[in-house]
């Protein structure tokens, strides 16, 4: 009855209290994050060794994830659910890409490109920001796949790495839990704007035959619809 903080329900629940001296909120004077690059051409992704949790109970690396898999995500009410991967907005298995390596107080490590959107505590709620804006002591949402709960945890370190593979899966919910951290599926444009822009693609995947909706999908590179939005509207999802 008191859902976790979410993109559409930013108020903290009793288990996710408001910022306090023992639960610091982001500080403008905090250390600057390193500049992690993108997936090679301005796109933003997760590394190939990043892990998602599937509905079958397995942990799957991004490089083995396929369209149609159902993975842990967060809905608009802040509830952890399994959501279908209906497309990859970008997939570059052979690319050497730069990422930010974000370490949390739980000991977990998230590898995310700098422009990819992630949910950060701000004031009494959550906002989506580019990963480049993350600072030490900022708090992000950490999910527990076993209990289906999420809590705010502090970032303890941010550094830059280069590793092989760049992947941007899109789920029906528009969010994805990667290495137990709740993140947006989108980059550059703010989360809600990007999610609305992709509504037509989600509807097509929900109601049209798979053979039709996936006929133009690429096994590698930028998804045709994301490329269309980038070239015609001027922002990249």
Could you report the per-residue pLDDT of 168-178, keeping only the tens digit for each?
999 999 999 99
Residue 154, pLDDT score: 98
Least confident of 41-45, 62-66, 123-127: 41-45
Query: Any idea what the Cα angle at residue 168 is, between residues 167 and 170, rounded to 5°?
Result: 140
Instruction: Report how many helices (DSSP H) and strands (DSSP E) the chain contains, helices first.
Output: 4, 13
Residue 165, pLDDT score: 94
The DSSP code for 23 is B
Instruction: Answer whether residue 190 shows pLDDT above 60.
Output: yes
Of 74, 108, 60, 87, nearest to 183 by C-alpha is: 74
Q: Over range 133-162, report the average pLDDT.
A: 97
Q: For all residues of the chain together, what is the average pLDDT?
A: 80
Provide the whole-model pTM. 0.78
Alpha helices in the chain (DSSP H): 191-197, 199-207, 210-213, 224-232
SS3 219: coil
How far is it, in rounded angstroms, from Cα 202 to Cα 48? 24
Burial class (CB in 10 A: 0-12, 13-18, 19+), 40: middle
Q: Over range 9-31, report the average pLDDT.
A: 37
Could you report the per-residue pLDDT of 56-115, keeping only the tens digit for each?
999 999 999 999 999 999 999 999 999 999 999 999 999 899 999 999 999 999 999 999
How far is it, in rounded angstroms, from Cα 28 to Cα 87? 36
Instruction: Answer whether residue 186 shows pLDDT above 60.
Output: yes
Residues 88 and 215 sit within 8 Å (Cβ to Cβ): no
Instruction: Answer whether residue 27 shows pLDDT above 90.
Output: no
Residues 12 and 5 sit within 8 Å (Cβ to Cβ): yes
How far is it, in rounded angstroms, from Cα 188 to Cα 194? 9
Instruction: Answer whether residue 237 shows pLDDT above 80.
Output: no
Residue 38, pLDDT score: 43
Residues 113 and 44 sit within 8 Å (Cβ to Cβ): yes
Alpha helices in 81-147 (DSSP H): none
How far is it, in rounded angstroms, from Cα 31 to Cα 134? 9
Residue 142, pLDDT score: 98
Which residues, 6 or more positions from 10, have their beta carbon under 8 angstroms from its beta carbon?
124, 125, 126, 127
How are beta strands 51-53 and 59-61 bridged, if at all?
Answer: antiparallel
How far is it, in rounded angstroms, from Cα 189 to Cα 114? 13
Residue 232, pLDDT score: 62
> How crowded is the C-beta side of 43, counted as CA atoms within 13 Å?
30
Structure tokens at 93: 């298995």
């Amino acid at each position: 009855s008191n859902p976790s903080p979410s993109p559409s329900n930013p108020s903290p629940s009793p288990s996710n209290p408001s910022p306090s001296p023992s639960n610091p909120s982001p500080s403008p004077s905090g250390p600057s994050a390193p500049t992690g690059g993108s997936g090679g051409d301005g796109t933003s992704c997760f590394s190939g060794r990043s892990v998602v949790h599937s509905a079958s109970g397995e942990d799957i690396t991004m490089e083995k994830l396929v369209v149609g898999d159902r993975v842990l995500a967060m809905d608009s009410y802040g509830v952890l659910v399994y959501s279908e991967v209906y497309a990859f907005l970008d997939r570059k298995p052979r690319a050497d890409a730069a990422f930010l390596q974000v370490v949390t107080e739980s000991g977990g490590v998230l590898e995310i490109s700098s422009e990819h959107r992630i949910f950060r505590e701000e004031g009494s709620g959550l906002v989506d920001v580019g990963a480049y804006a993350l600072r030490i002591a900022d708090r992000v949402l950490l999910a527990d796949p076993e209990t289906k709960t999420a809590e705010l945890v502090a970032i303890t370190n941010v550094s830059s790495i280069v590793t092989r593979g760049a992947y941007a899966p899109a789920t029906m919910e528009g969010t994805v839990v990667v290495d137990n951290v709740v993140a947006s599926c989108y980059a550059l444009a703010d989360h809600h704007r990007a999610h609305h822009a992709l509504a037509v693609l989600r509807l097509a995947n929900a109601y049209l035959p798979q053979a039709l909706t996936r006929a133009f999908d690429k096994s590698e590179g930028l998804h045709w619809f994301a490329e269309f939005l980038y070239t015609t509207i001027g922002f990249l999802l």
